Structure 1
Amino acid sequence: MIYLETSRLYLRDWSAADLEPFCNMNADEDVMKYFPRMLSHEETERFYQAILSEFEDYGYGLYAAEVKDSKEFIGFIGFHRATFEADFTPCVEIGWRLKKEAWGKGYATEGAKACLDYGFHQLGFSEIFSFTAEINAPSINVMRKIGMEPVKTFHHPNVEQDSPLNKHVLFQSDIDHSRKP
C-alpha cells in the first residue's frame, strides 16, 4: 500500500525485497555515522520486524521510501512511537534514514513534509517530535526545513554517557504550527 505520494517519492509498505538494501544501508558507516554503531544483518532483520509490528499495532510507522521514476528503495521516512525514558515520551517521532546515494537531493525534506501533513491531518496527531545527536547537522537541517521548532537538548538514555552522540536535540511541531503558511 502507498500511504503518501510526493512529486518524486512513494512512501509505502515494506516488501521482502527491501530487506537486503535495508541491511546494506544499516551496515554503511557513512549512513550510520550519527548512531552508536552499524547494524548487523540480524539486527536489521529485527528492526524490519519491529517496523512491521508497529504498523500492525498503530496503523502507521516508518514508511519504505521509493523513488517514483526508478522504483528504487532509498530508505525510510515516517513515524515511530518513541518509548525510552524521557520527560517527553511516549511520543510520536518523525524520522528518516536514507542510503547515501540519495543524500543531497531533498528527499528527506520532501518526504518528511508530506509525513507531517499526513500525521496531523489524516492520523490526527496533535504534536510530533524529532530528535537526533546534537552533532548531526544534516538531520537538524531537515528538521528546520520542515518547520519544526527546537525545544531543548537532552542526554539520550540509550546512548553511552561518554559518547559524542549522547547529547541530543529535541524538535517539535504541533497541529497549530502546521497550519501556518
Structure 2
Amino acid sequence: MIYLETSRLKLRDWEDTDLEPFSRLNADEKVMKYFPKTLSSEETTVFYKSIISEFIECGFGLYAVDVKENKEFIGFIGFHRANFEADFTPCVEIGWRLKQEAWGKGYATEGAAACLQYGFKELGFSDIYSFTADVNTPSKNVMIKIGMSFIKYFNHPKIEIKSPLNTHVLYHIKKM
C-alpha cells in the first residue's frame, strides 16, 4: 500500500525485497554515524520485523521510501512510538534514514513534511516529536525546515553517558 506520495517520493509498505538494501543502509558507517553502531544483517531483520509489527499494532510506522523517477528504495521516513524512559515519552516520533546517495536532495525534508500533514490530518496526532544526537546537524536542520521547534537537550537513556552521542536534542510540533 502507498500511504503518501510527494512530487518525487512514494512512502509505502515494506516488501521482502527491501530487506537487502535496508541491510546495506544499516551497515553503512556514514549513514549510521549518529547511532551507537552499524547493524548486522540479523539486527536489520529484527528491526524490519519490529517495523512491520508496529504497522500491524498501530496502523502507522516507518514507511519505506522510493524515488518515483527510478523506483529506487532509498530508506525510510515515518513514525515510531518512542517509549524509552524520558519525561516526554511515550510519544509519536517522526524520523528518517536515507542512503548516502539520497542525501542533499531534500528528500528527508520533503517526505517528513508530507508525513507531518498525514499524521495530523489522517492519523489524528495532536503532537509529534523528533530527537537526535546534538551533533547530528543534518537531521536537526530537517526538523527546523519542517517547522518543528527546539524544546530541550536531554541525555538519551539508551546511550552510554560518556558517548558523544548521549546528548540529544528534542524537537516538537503541535497540530495547528
How does the TM-score come out when normalised to structure 1? 0.97
Q: What RMSD, in angstroms, separates the aligned Cα atoms of the two structures? A: 0.3
2:65 maps to: 65
**1:162-173 to 2 correspondence within 5 Å?**
162-173=162-173
Deviation of the 1:129 alpha carbon: 0.1
Secondary structure, counterpart of 2:37 in structure 1: coil
1:141 matches 2:141? yes
Distance in 1 separating the partners of 2:68 and 2:15: 16
1:43 maps to: 43
2:123 maps to: 123
Q: Output one character per residue of 1:126-162: Cα deviation in whole Å (capped at 9) or x when no partner.
A: 0000000000000000000000000000000000110
Distance in 1 separating the partners of 2:7 and 2:115: 13
Distance in 2 separating the partners of 1:153 and 1:45: 31
1:4 maps to: 4
Runs of 4+ aligned residues of structure 1 deviating over 4 Å after TM superposition are: none
Secondary structure, counterpart of 1:73 in structure 2: strand
- What residue ranges of structure 1 are gaps of 5+ in the alignment? 177-181
1:151 maps to: 151
Deviation of the 1:11 alpha carbon: 0.2
1:113 matches 2:116? no
Deviation of the 1:72 alpha carbon: 0.3
Deviation of the 1:58 alpha carbon: 0.1
Secondary structure, counterpart of 1:131 in structure 2: strand
Distance in 2 separating the partners of 1:31 and 1:68: 22
2:54 maps to: 54
Deviation of the 1:96 alpha carbon: 0.1
Distance in 2 separating the partners of 1:110 and 1:54: 23
Q: Percent identity?
A: 70
Distance in 2 separating the partners of 1:61 and 1:25: 18
Distance in 2 separating the partners of 1:26 and 1:100: 11
Distance in 1 separating the partners of 2:12 and 2:68: 11
How does the TM-score come out when normalised to structure 2? 1.00
* Corresponding pairs, count: 176
Distance in 1 separating the partners of 2:66 and 2:81: 22
Distance in 1 separating the partners of 2:71 and 2:18: 11
